[in-house]
């Protein structure tokens, strides 16, 4: 998938370029720019509280953003592997 970041002053949004859907975020608490939180958002319909997954707390923006990217990289690789295994079974 082709994903990108949109940066704002308080939050960075990770989104899919093909449909604009936000699939992750990295943000810091108000008045605390040294604590960053990384979240991912699942493709669940309807969207519920379980659709948000906190990846953790990070010491800097770059680390939080990398965690979001890595999560989706692993998810995409897992899906590709699952699809290939399904083809072999058919």
Residue 26: what pLDDT? 96
The side-by-side arrangement of strands in the sheet containing 22-29 is 3-7, 11-16, 22-29, 32-41, 52-58
**Containing H/E element for 32?**
strand 32-41
Residue 18: what pLDDT? 92
Domain count, the chain: 1
pTM higher than 0.85, yes or no? Answer: no
Mean pLDDT of the chain: 84
Q: Which residues of the chain have pLDDT under 50?
A: none
Which domain does 24 fall in, by range? Answer: 3-89
Dihedral in degrees, nearest 10, Cα atoms 81, 67, 26, 6: -60
Q: Which residues contact 43 (CB under 8 A, 6 or more apart)?
A: 21, 23
């Amino acid at each position: 998938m082709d994903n990108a970041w949109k940066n704002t002053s308080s939050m960075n949004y990770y989104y899919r370029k093909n449909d604009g859907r936000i699939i992750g975020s990295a943000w810091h608490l108000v008045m605390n720019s040294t604590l960053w939180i990384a979240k991912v958002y699942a493709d669940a319909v309807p969207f519920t509280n379980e659709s948000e997954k906190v990846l953790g707390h990070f010491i800097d923006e770059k680390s939080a953003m990398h965690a979001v990217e890595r999560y989706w990289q692993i998810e995409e690789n897992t899906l590709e592997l699952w699809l290939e295994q399904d083809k072999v079974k058919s």
